[in-house]
Amino acid sequence: MNFDTIRYHLTGPWAIVCYVLILILWLTDTNADPYIELKNKIKQHKEPIHQLGLGYEYKWYSNGKLYIEGGVRTEGYSTEFGYKYKWDRFTLKGKVESSKVNNWNHVIETKLRYSF
């Protein structure tokens, strides 16, 4: 088997699955939890988007979490990496979400919350 064949087989959704599995094995710890998640998004005047992904959540320091997930979605596939950290009444959350139907689309989201 030559390298061109290997590169061909590790593109598309299979590449995402391989990267997620490698990251899961790398982050394996007693503080980490794998999960499966089903998401449905419905936007006004657009077709619904259904996603099924495999993810892994890792506890980060005492008040934080990191997660990564990847999987299939309506007419394509997607990946997501995010974090959440709490300080007293403040919560900082963020994520990078990438999806591909015809071309890659990326969304970066950050939230800072103060709880009363």
Nearest alpha-carbon partner for 68 in 57, 84, 76, 78: 57
For residues 110 and 62, give the distance between their C-alpha atoms in angstroms, rounded to a whole number. Answer: 20
* pTM, 2 dp: 0.61
- Give the three-class secondary structure for 111: strand
Q: pLDDT of 11-57, one tens digit each?
A: 566 666 667 766 666 665 556 666 777 777 777 667 888 888 888 88
Element (H, E) at 5: helix 3-9
Phi, psi dihedrals of residue 111, rounded to the nearest 5°: -130, 140
Q: pLDDT of 66-107, one tens digit each?
A: 888 888 888 888 889 999 998 888 999 999 988 888 888 888
